[in-house]
Chain A
């Protein structure tokens, strides 16, 4: 016990004496949280919008007025010909081109229906999809208004009953992306820092030769590993605390669920990450190798965590892989507890899986660490 205590003490001394690492551990994650939480959003604004108005009637102008009024669209200009519009799209000057056909107003009056030409730059598929929805929403609402205007008295009698849906977004009523992103980003930061630190730690001792000196001592494997990992566990918990404070104070994220539950889950989760880090450390000879391998896993974990792309939309084999992604569980738990106020029973599946994962990873790590080569 005394030995473990002393190793922990030694590790902390080394961490705090490393003037290069200290800001990386504590300042960098906070800066990332502040920047990413503000920047990472799925909302699409400032869409560059251009139009071709072949009709030039009050009705067509009224439709365009709708786009001008919307905060999502920046109405840039109108083009005289489709050719001009196409070349502007090619250059990337516009994202969306709306073409109003000739006799738009007249046809609408006579036939009660009409067609609009819409061209969207779909280099980014996700953005294009959202833009299309925006445009059709505006056109639809315009449609409703114009109908009322054009409708004659007799039509009133046969007016169909309109069904409208009013969505209500539970757990995040205003669809505030920060509420959605901050818990996720916080998860990434805690994972990244603890994974990199633990991954590079033992390998560093290998590099500077101290591990050899340690290995000739009677110290037990478990003493050494516990002593090595405990400081990073503390740092991980510390980062969570600082992150939660920032989430509350800066972003005003609601913390509906129990803090104790969040900490309980995180304390187990960090063991999984530390186990992975240690495992990497045991199979590499230099910090550089360890760093690259840690990055490899980190990138896969992040992109397959469901934070940026929903897991439900992944192909089935990819969904199967995400079962082994600890970040996925952490993101789920944090969102569930923070935003929904889930209880222990609600997160039990994630909790159990993480616990098993922690045992497996640390078991492998201790097994693969050999004092003799």
Chain B
């Protein structure tokens, strides 16, 4: 086990940020924490990276106890906070060198590990970190978090505020790092990224709702989901919500995702109801559930 968390709780004055959190992450696993803003993801990261002391509960990271061996943990984990937190007035190379020195190593020693990522920003190595684009900043931050060859890597919302192309690239990099045997705990508010993880924990309001592989979470989705669309989306949502048999209704891309309370649901009935509501261009099709649907089902 690379990370074992048992019954961790943490409060900020009156707000309970983490309530009795427990989960385990296997060696070499890519584990995702999926949840909306304010779910407690960052607090959990700060607890696991020894920046914050939990009120209750125990945890081990890379086999070391969070309280007793915090010094060893600091040597064996890499942490990339959600907010860019490198020295903006130092150059790319100076930042990397600085963190290498602090960890008592050199760039050359672990160059293999960061090579794939660093080559992409190497042409700009004399540029100040503050002058880099968002995607490049993330690459530099990741390089700095990896420079001491950590056993466990914590990535707190690494793709928030990054363009779709860089996001895709970033996840490819994460996948490659996983192949090198690094355990990775990543958090994201994007449900589509969840499918790229080995296992995910859905988290909301400081509580873990479900832990499983993305496939299993989708497979266990209890209901049939329908893509509903009509010319007037707003009226469609209002009408669906007013429908007596509706279980859940929420917009999903260009469609509205609809589930019914009944087991033997007939889409024709719904179509008839919507036509009575004077909606035009109605289409109702069954669709595959996604992680987002699973999350909505649990969270509502």
Contacts and interface: CB of A to CB of B under 8 A. Distances in A.
A290 B96 CA distance: 29
B193 interface: no
Interface residues of B, number: 29
Size bracket, chain A contacts: 20 to 34
Contacts of B245: none
A210 B49 contact: no
A208 B85 contact: yes
Interface string A55-87: 000000000000000000000000000000000
Given A10-B98, A372-B70, A215 B89 contact: no
Interface string B85-116: 11111100010011101111000000000000
Nearest to B84: A209
Nearest to B80: A213
Given A372-B52, A372-B70, A218 B90 contact: no
Contacts of B71: 218
Contacts of B99: 213, 217
Given A10-B98, A14-B90, A372-B53, A216 B77 contact: yes
Most chain B CB neighbours (cut-off 10 Å) among A14, A209, A213, A215? A213
Contact of A219 (B52, B83, B102): B102
A356 interface: no
A134 to B, nearest CB: 57
Nearest to A15: B89
Nearest to A223: B102
Contact of A216 (B50, B87, B104): B50
Contact of B51 (A3, A6, A13, A215): A215
A215 B218 CA distance: 39
A373 interface: yes
B179 to A, nearest CB: 24
Contacts of A14: 87, 89-90
B74 interface: yes
A19 B265 CA distance: 70
B81 A212 contact: yes
B85 A209 contact: yes
B101 A6 contact: yes
A209 B83 contact: yes
Interface in A197-239: 208-210, 212-219
A308 B216 CA distance: 78
Nearest to A224: B102
A7 B144 CA distance: 16
B103 A217 contact: yes
Contact of B87 (A10, A217, A373): A10
A216 B88 contact: no
A213 B79 contact: yes
A115 interface: no
Interface in B271-287: none
A18 interface: yes
A2 interface: yes
Nearest to A219: B102
Contacts of B89: 13-14, 17-18
Nearest to B88: A208
Most chain A CB neighbours (cut-off 10 Å) among B79, B97, B102? B102
Given A209-B81, A210-B85, A210-B86, A6 B74 contact: no
Contacts of B144: 213
A21 to B, nearest CB: 11
Contact of B85 (A3, A213, A371): A213
A89 to B, nearest CB: 58
A3 B103 CA distance: 9
A18 B87 CA distance: 12
A209 B79 CA distance: 13
20 contacts: A2-B104, A3-B102, A3-B104, A6-B98, A6-B101, A10-B98, A13-B94, A14-B89, A208-B88, A209-B85, A213-B85, A214-B102, A215-B51, A216-B50, A217-B99, A218-B71, A218-B74, A218-B102, A372-B52, A372-B53
Interface of B: 49-53, 70-71, 74-75, 77, 79, 81, 83-90, 94, 97-99, 101-104, 144
